[in-house]
Amino acid sequence: MGGFEKVVEINPMHEDYVIIAISGYNGAFGSYDKVIEKRNAAYTRPDGNPYVKPQNTHPARIYVGIKGKMEDGSKAPSDDFLARNGLRYGQVYGFAIDMSENGPTGGVWRDEFHKSSMNGAKVDGVFTKVDWMWDGTVKDFEHDGSWGFQEQPPMHLGSDNYFWNAKGNDESGCKTEHHSPDPREGKSGFIQSSTCGYFGHYYLNDIYEKLVEADGDLPGDISSTYYVYQGETDITGQIELGGKGKYSQDGTDATKNYDNWDAPKVTFEDIDGFEILEGPDEELFAVIQEDSGNDFGERMFITEALQHDGEDITYYFVAMSGGQNNTRHFSGVGIPAGVNGGASSHEFSGIADLSGLVYSGKSGEKSAKGQGTKAKGGKVRRGARKLSKSSYGYEKRESDRQVAINDKLILLGLQAHNYYDGIIASFQGDRGGQWLAYQPDIPGY
């Protein structure tokens, strides 16, 4: 379906099914003139309007697959990897809502809704099938399922329900680049970010019941609820710099994003890397990485524990790197020496919780609320299992959640786009960069 930026497995609650949340792109190709022409020649959009470029014209999406079936629904050989993992027989579902004035957003599409939405804003809807299913035959893109989000969901024809796209059915909106699964035991859902600077939580409310009811086939509508964590709103008062994040220009710091010097952004800008980390007591924390062209370097933050409580979230500044006006880059600094090709962008992109892999069975003392350093007599958490190469994925999740957020080791990816000279050029490498191990120090945890 046109390719994706990121896919993450979420809990289906049923061992015969797989559910994957999919994010980004939806047909991010080059020239589209002939492709759109071919699509409109082959298909008629139900509302009578012509099909438009499908890139970023889509809702939040999931894929539901049945394990052990071929594309035609027949039983698959046991050694077929794709079928064994539910990747041959399945269908993509999009988040749809009542788009009338009486609906949960008053008829407002997703990007516009987030311009004034605060933490805790709620949108009820369903994940419902798109009018396309893989049949095992490769066809040209004009036949792809990516166009289906411009149509009314097939199970809702004649109603007020439509896919909750970023900017409607006729125009591309902001990209939903990265998302992350809800890792908590007994929960099915994912947290989705947007390059517009907002993010929120999609819950699949009745997925187990729906899969039991489907009895070996694909379910119909899946009742779902979306909660906003952060709208596309001013976050400057929610950022804690901890004495860091000072830019090279006097009076500027990382509470704002300077991708445009004349109009610095007070919101998040172009969220790229995004991952949810779980601590004890079902605490969820988000790591947020921008890829915006900030003149002073891309920003990275970590949140306090996320709640749907209506309160503004606090964002703790972690790091910044790169930038057109980075003084280190103007001086030609680079590691190894000689790789710096000039001041340019860096990109934090990629986060992984290492704590379950390195945890020995004891987490350190838990911080007293309101203190940035760990207090004596704090709570000690024990009992995480050690992992080996034969361990299952859920065992890593179990180990991860044993470790308090300030005891975690978090793997961070950093691409250094301007590190292309010297030894990197000699070895015909793409660019420099680094993997970093980060241990948070969030006050109160």
The verdict on 217 and 304 lying in the same domain is: no
Domain limits for position 27: 6-230
Of 181, 197, 230, the one marking the end of a domain is 230
Domain count, the chain: 2
Question: What is the rounded distance in angstroms from the CA atom of residue 163 to the CA atom of residue 59?
Answer: 6
**Nearest one of 209, 191, 359 to 275, comparing CA atoms:** 191
In a domain, 1, yes or no: no
The verdict on 208 and 253 lying in the same domain is: no
Instruction: Give per-residue pLDDT as tens, 372-425.
Output: 333 333 343 444 446 788 888 888 898 899 999 999 999 999 999 999 999 999
Is residue 261 classed as helix, strand or coil in its secondary structure? coil
Is residue 114 classed as helix, strand or coil in its secondary structure? helix
- The average confidence (pLDDT) of the chain is 91
The verdict on 240 and 193 lying in the same domain is: no
Instruction: Give per-residue pLDDT as tens, 199-235.
Output: 999 999 999 999 999 999 999 999 999 999 999 999 9
Instruction: Give per-residue pLDDT as tens, 314-355.
Output: 999 999 999 988 888 889 999 899 999 988 889 998 999 998
| C-alpha neighbours within 13 Å on the C-beta side of residue 210 | 20
DSSP class of 51: P
The verdict on 315 and 211 lying in the same domain is: no
Average of pLDDT values for 185-204?
97
pTM of the model as a whole: 0.92
pLDDT band at 250 (very low <50, low <70, confident <90, very high): confident
How is residue 409 written in tokens? 């080791």
The verdict on 298 and 427 lying in the same domain is: yes
The verdict on 119 and 246 lying in the same domain is: no
Sequence-distant (6+) residues with CB within 8 A of 444 are: 304, 367, 368, 369, 370, 371
Cβ-based neighbour number of residue 254 at 10 Å: 24
Of 172, 207, 230, the one marking the end of a domain is 230
Q: Report the Cα 431 to chain-centroid distance in Å.
A: 24
Of 172, 199, 230, the one marking the end of a domain is 230
